[in-house]
Amino acid sequence: MAKFRIVTPAGASFTVAGGGYDYEMEALNLANIDAEIVEAPTDTAAFIAAARDADAIYAKGIPFTAEIINALDKCKVISLGSVGVDSVDVKAATARGIPVTNVPDTFIEEVADHCMMLLLATFRRTIEQDRMVREHRWREGRPALLQIPRLMGQTLGFVSFGRVARAVARRAKPFGLNMIAYDPFLDETVMIENGVIPATLDEVMSRSDFVSMHAPARPECTGMLTERHFKQMKPSAIFLNVGRGPTVDEAALIKALEQGWMAYAGLDVLEVEPPSHNNPLLKMENVILSAHTASASARFDEARKRRVGAELALVAQNKWPMSCVNPAVLQTTKLQRWQPVNLGRGPNS
């Protein structure tokens, strides 16, 4: 019998250490799948030539456009090792009846930790304090620090209240933060059960001391927060983003920080990554940045690779994958439903 052929872009290994160990292949081997993972050139034409007869695509490194997806003759699944599915044209995959999988549960806790780190570091002015000591300006900045309010009783507002935001809310609760959230696709009872009061987007922007952005990079969320929204913020408020850069109009965010419409920002994600040398955010004192590394931990690389391997193994056995972002297509594939079934994050991810 022919091997189950998985095609992936060459050299697109993940940046955080996995020791180069083939966890995906181990997962496939454990399921007794006779599979091969073939690395294909990243140039579109060459990739298509190599991937045309693939049984599965392991998507990473390059954008999976409609051009690539429409050229796949017998692909049964496109699997991603990330939560965000913005690198795949899911609409095109759905039109071709190809399920797209992601890794929704593997590193939520790390991202939530990172968000809390940015919240505390921006609020308590960690970078300035560190610099003050190293530059022998012991307690020089103290008058400014004495303006910092008490964290307890401040309001944390979430834009989108998915898995990461809920994990942040669990961490923020013992700090005594009041919490509100805007999420048009989520049942309000989920917010209430998580200690968060449902609100409109305008209320989140205007009432929060921290606005934490978690919207997915769906086309309708691109540039979702604009100048109008930033103008609504309290001048003392802090903006956090561990979601996706393009969900924010970055020029408007820069203007807001320059004009004092808000006080500070903590950003793990940017509109263009890595940023250009002349991105003004890189020079701003009231910004803390990280390099889209919120998910990084010793566990994350292994966990997401094992999960990708498990999804590919299921499809190789003609079974439904566990986390499908376009679950409607499963009904039309030849893949079999099995128990327990988790339809994943559904159409709003």
Ligand X SMILES: O=C(O)[C@H](O)COP(=O)(O)O
Ligand Y SMILES: NC(=O)c1ccc[n+]([C@@H]2O[C@H](COP(=O)([O-])OP(=O)(O)OC[C@H]3O[C@@H](n4cnc5c(N)ncnc54)[C@H](O)[C@@H]3O)[C@@H](O)[C@H]2O)c1
Helix (H) or strand (E) holding 39: strand 35-40
- Kindly state the number of chain residues that form the binding site for ligand X, as judged by CB under 6 A: 5
CB of 111 to ligand X, least distance (A): 7
Q: Name which of residues 161 to 190 contact ligand Y (CB under 6 A).
A: 161-165, 183-186
Q: Name which of residues 100 to 139 contact ligand Y (CB under 6 A).
A: 108, 111
Concerning whether 229 is annotated as a catalytic residue, the answer is no
Q: Name which of residues 70 to 89 contact ligand X (CB under 6 A).
A: 82-84
Measured from each CB, the residue nearest to ligand Y is 162
Handedness of CA 29, 35, 41, 47 (dihedral sign): negative
C-alpha span between 116 and 45 (Å, rounded): 43
Concerning whether 228 is annotated as a catalytic residue, the answer is no
Among 173, 218, 231, 292, indicate the residue that binds ligand X (CB under 6 A). Answer: 292
By CB under 6 A, is residue 305 in contact with ligand Y?
no
Residue 306 contact among ligand Y, ligand X, none, beta carbon within 5 to 8 Å by kind: none
Sheet containing 77-80: which strands, arranged edge to edge? 35-40, 4-9, 56-59, 77-80, 100-101
By CB under 6 A, is residue 349 in contact with ligand Y?
yes
Contact 106, 304 (CB under 8 A): yes
What is the phi-psi region of residue 2: left when phi exceeds 0, alpha when psi lies from -120 to 50, beta otherwise? beta
CB of 325 to ligand Y, least distance (A): 9
Concerning whether 292 is annotated as a catalytic residue, the answer is yes
Specify the amino acid at residue 297: S
Catalytic residue among 166, 244, 306, 307: 244
Q: Which of 149, 103, 11 is nearest to 300 (CA)?
A: 103
- Kindly state the number of chain residues that form the binding site for ligand Y, as judged by CB under 6 A: 32
Footprint on this chain of ligand X (rule: CB under 6 A): 82-84, 292, 295
